[in-house]
Chain A
């Protein structure tokens, strides 16, 4: 105590007795600081690993997937010979329809013969082998054109045909002369022919809108496969999920959080909701199969059923996030409302819900995004392995007609043998990710906007 009463007698730099100088770290402090530094280093390492993985993932997806957005097209002038297409010469649509796609194949051969004559290309290929560089869908494309406008018969029109997936792969570097050694679909001579056509400007690779808006195709024509129809399938499923999961989820959480008595029953419900959120999605799929399809006889492969299954799956997510955001509203707001004589419901709807809305919205969008990317339950209700060739023409058919969904479509492509489909699977992942990122961005923006209000 005497030290404390006479501080002026102590020289400034002399260490205080027992504690040592502040300018020198003691052993304990050094140890503590070292531990803190180590912990920070672990954190930096963990984040670096995460970032590295993310970069690898994004790089992989982009490098493999961007190819799907480009497609090789062959430009040809095709003489629409009347003697092949309209033997009777009366332009009767019913007679025209009798000519199948096989009837159009010779026109393509003729077109190629004209091409080599014009450009002076020397090749030993048969006209049939030359036409082999086109997609198998090329005659059908011709036929659709003629049937749409029979007056074109007799003229020569310029067409752009999809090149076959092997030729497309050749232009994208996926297919080489070595890799096709055992490939019956294409020969080295055909590739030589392709090279000459590229020189002549008849073959070029460019952006392919059909991949984004088109329908899936059969195994034989990967070059024609697109995401569009399955995107519509996903859209209708999301519509069902939003229309069901949001009101049910929000109503359930408001009741549980604000009105329900706290007793063993609500405790059990609460625990089970949390458990449901962790149930593997395939379980919801088999439940959907058993209940919606086998018992309720709803149509197989329909987005309606997919939406119902995904609703079941999304509900726990929405309920949990909604309850969390209701809980986060300060109780003083509820007290204030009750204190001026508002009823319970008025206090919830006038004051609590508006404050919780950003959180509810975010939870809902995250839940939707999760549902959008979900594949497993769709496997069980038949939304995989099915090729919807046409987009639905009405809301009812959009809900009830068989369709696929984006992740199911990606899975479908990934399991097909042709490497051209593999590329499209990656391309599909890019589209799906764009959707997910967009949704999450909307969630963030909405949350910011609502929060900034006060």
Chain B
């Protein structure tokens, strides 16, 4: 990729949104995440890269407690969002997930209409007072996800009838419709073609204005293109975490260098 562009990218010193300290995750007997410390900044795109099975998705799912749905998963350590421990007993994961939205690897629209897909979150969280309010929320979310023009004439059509790239953008619209503060994206482009990928990446860059975005990706080019901060995971360890430009041009750890030059992973 364009190395100059990466180097010149300015990184704002934003406030810390998510602070993770000493996070350990076990799947049964497997120690999937080993003592990870990471600070994720607000209004920043943070990329998690690393070879398959290195724990980056697992760690991402810790941030909105999606690992709770897996019976054998056990999370230890301290993850704070705005200084609040999200694994505190008083925290309801449902409330947390309204604050920390998620976009999944495979586009997974509900088998309902496009409108209902986006309106579902606002409905269950009571964000809309009336029908026209809801219409506004849906339109805003679809516009933000850069899919409004493509679907505005067929909001009643099933979301599952869209193309893969459109579905993924619909899922992003669904995630932003609930007005989260953090958006987690688990390989959002792995099922998309380059054109749809480019659209989603553009979208991620725009979302940075309002949200803290954490993206897991297998594509190092993508990480380089969209993120300001990059974390490299390997075998459950956070090997290196820093500004994207630095990670890709001048990594400190030899493992990072091996990975980004294609020798491991």
Chain A positions within 8 Å of B, measured between CB atoms, are 261-262, 330, 332-343, 346, 350-351, 354-355, 453-454
Known contacts: A341-B124, A341-B178, A454-B158. The answer to whether A333 contacts B108 by CB under 8 A is: yes
Interface centre among A333, A354, A454 (most CB of B within 10 A): A454
Identify the 4 closest CB pairs spanning chains A and B, nearest first.
Answer: A341-B98, A332-B108, A340-B121, A339-B102
Q: Is the CB of B174 within 8 A of A340?
A: yes
Known contacts: A340-B101, A350-B120. The answer to whether A454 contacts B108 by CB under 8 A is: no
Q: Which of B70-124 contact A (CB under 8 A)?
A: 71, 94-95, 97-98, 101-104, 106, 108-111, 120-121, 124
Q: Is the CB of B71 within 8 A of A340?
A: no
Q: Is the CB of B66 within 8 A of A339?
A: yes
Instruction: Give the docked Cα–Cα distance between A98 and B40 (Å).
Output: 100
Q: Is the CB of B66 within 8 A of A336?
A: no
Q: Please give me the residue from chain A that is nearest to B116 by CB atom.
A: A350
Chain B residues positioned under 8 Å from A335 (CB to CB): 66, 69, 102, 104, 108
Q: Is the CB of A340 within 8 A of B97?
A: yes
Q: Is the CB of A338 within 8 A of B97?
A: yes
B175 CB–A CB distance under 8 Å: yes
Instruction: Give the docked Cα–Cα distance between A226 and B247 (Å).
Output: 87
Instruction: Give the docked Cα–Cα distance between A335 and B110 (Å).
Output: 10
Chain A residues positioned under 8 Å from B138 (CB to CB): none
What is the distance, in angstroms, from A329's C-beta to the closest C-beta of chain B? 10
Task: Determine the interface band of chain B, counting residues with CB < 8 A from chain A.
Answer: 20 to 34
The A-B contact count (CB < 8 A) is: 69
B5 CB–A CB distance under 8 Å: no
What is the distance, in angstroms, from A87's C-beta to the closest C-beta of chain B? 80
Instruction: Give the docked Cα–Cα distance between A350 and B108 (Å).
Output: 15
Partner of A337 from the list B106, B110, B175 (CB cut-off 8 Å) is B110
Offer 25 A-B interface pairs, CB within 8 angstroms, sorted by A.
A261-B71, A330-B108, A334-B69, A335-B102, A335-B108, A336-B104, A336-B109, A337-B110, A339-B101, A339-B102, A339-B175, A340-B101, A340-B175, A340-B177, A340-B178, A341-B95, A341-B98, A341-B101, A341-B121, A341-B124, A341-B178, A342-B120, A343-B94, A346-B124, A454-B158
What is the distance, in angstroms, from A291's C-beta to the closest C-beta of chain B? 36
What is the distance, in angstroms, from A267's C-beta to the closest C-beta of chain B? 12
Instruction: Give the docked Cα–Cα distance between A346 and B174 (Å).
Output: 16
Chain A residues positioned under 8 Å from B44 (CB to CB): none
Chain B residues positioned under 8 Å from A355 (CB to CB): 111
Chain B residues positioned under 8 Å from A350 (CB to CB): 120, 124
What is the distance, in angstroms, from A33's C-beta to the closest C-beta of chain B? 39
B215 CB–A CB distance under 8 Å: no
Chain A residues positioned under 8 Å from B175 (CB to CB): 339-340
Q: Is the CB of A336 within 8 A of B171?
A: yes
Q: Please give me the residue from chain B that is nearest to A260 by CB atom.
A: B71
Q: Please give me the residue from chain A that is nearest to B93 by CB atom.
A: A338
Instruction: Give the docked Cα–Cα distance between A341 and B102 (Å).
Output: 9
Instruction: Give the docked Cα–Cα distance between A330 and B104 (Å).
Output: 13
B237 CB–A CB distance under 8 Å: no
Q: Please give me the residue from chain B that is nearest to A261 by CB atom.
A: B71
B64 CB–A CB distance under 8 Å: yes
Instruction: Give the docked Cα–Cα distance between A261 and B70 (Å).
Output: 10
Known contacts: A336-B171, A339-B97, A341-B98. The answer to whether A262 contacts B110 by CB under 8 A is: no
B190 CB–A CB distance under 8 Å: no
B199 CB–A CB distance under 8 Å: no
Partner of A339 from the list B64, B124, B161 (CB cut-off 8 Å) is B64
What is the distance, in angstroms, from B134's C-beta to the closest C-beta of chain A? 14
B246 CB–A CB distance under 8 Å: no
Q: Which of B145-180 contact A (CB under 8 A)?
A: 158, 160-161, 171, 174-175, 177-178
Chain B positions within 8 Å of A, measured between CB atoms, are 64, 66, 69, 71, 94-95, 97-98, 101-104, 106, 108-111, 120-121, 124-125, 158, 160-161, 171, 174-175, 177-178
Interface centre among B101, B103, B108 (most CB of A within 10 A): B108
Chain A residues positioned under 8 Å from B111 (CB to CB): 333, 354-355, 453-454
Chain A residues positioned under 8 Å from B69 (CB to CB): 334-335, 338
Q: Is the CB of B71 within 8 A of A341?
A: no
Instruction: Give the docked Cα–Cα distance between A354 and B116 (Å).
Output: 14
Chain B residues positioned under 8 Å from A342 (CB to CB): 94, 120-121, 124
Q: Please give me the residue from chain A that is nearest to B109 by CB atom.
A: A336
Q: Is the CB of B108 within 8 A of A336?
A: yes
Known: A335-B104, A336-B110. 16 other contacts (CB 8 A): A262-B71, A330-B108, A332-B108, A333-B111, A335-B102, A335-B108, A338-B97, A339-B66, A339-B102, A340-B101, A340-B177, A341-B95, A341-B125, A350-B124, A351-B110, A454-B160
Instruction: Give the docked Cα–Cα distance between A261 and B95 (Å).
Output: 22
Chain B residues positioned under 8 Å from A330 (CB to CB): 108
Chain A residues positioned under 8 Å from B95 (CB to CB): 341
Q: Is the CB of A332 within 8 A of B106?
A: yes
Chain A residues positioned under 8 Å from B161 (CB to CB): 454
Instruction: Give the docked Cα–Cα distance between A287 and B134 (Å).
Output: 56
Instruction: Give the docked Cα–Cα distance between A332 and B66 (Å).
Output: 12
What is the distance, in angstroms, from B14's C-beta to the closest C-beta of chain A? 24
Q: Please give me the residue from chain B that is nearest to A355 by CB atom.
A: B111
Chain B residues positioned under 8 Å from A336 (CB to CB): 104, 108-110, 171, 174
Q: Please give me the residue from chain B that is nearest to A336 by CB atom.
A: B108
What is the distance, in angstroms, from B25's C-beta to the closest C-beta of chain A? 17
What is the distance, in angstroms, from A376's C-beta to the closest C-beta of chain B? 40
What is the distance, in angstroms, from A242's C-beta to the closest C-beta of chain B? 27
Interface centre among A261, A338, A350 (most CB of B within 10 A): A338
Instruction: Give the docked Cα–Cα distance between A339 and B108 (Å).
Output: 11
Q: Please give me the residue from chain B that is nearest to A453 by CB atom.
A: B111
Chain A residues positioned under 8 Å from B174 (CB to CB): 336, 340
Chain B residues positioned under 8 Å from A340 (CB to CB): 97-98, 101, 120-121, 124, 174-175, 177-178
Instruction: Give the docked Cα–Cα distance between A262 and B70 (Å).
Output: 10
Instruction: Give the docked Cα–Cα distance between A81 and B84 (Å).
Output: 101
Instruction: Give the docked Cα–Cα distance between A337 and B97 (Å).
Output: 10
Instruction: Give the docked Cα–Cα distance between A350 and B110 (Å).
Output: 10
Instruction: Give the docked Cα–Cα distance between A47 and B111 (Å).
Output: 38
Chain B residues positioned under 8 Å from A351 (CB to CB): 110
Instruction: Give the docked Cα–Cα distance between A339 and B180 (Å).
Output: 11
Chain B residues positioned under 8 Å from A332 (CB to CB): 104, 106, 108
Instruction: Give the docked Cα–Cα distance between A351 and B66 (Å).
Output: 17
What is the distance, in angstroms, from B198's C-beta to the closest C-beta of chain A? 24
What is the distance, in angstroms, from A85's C-beta to the closest C-beta of chain B? 73
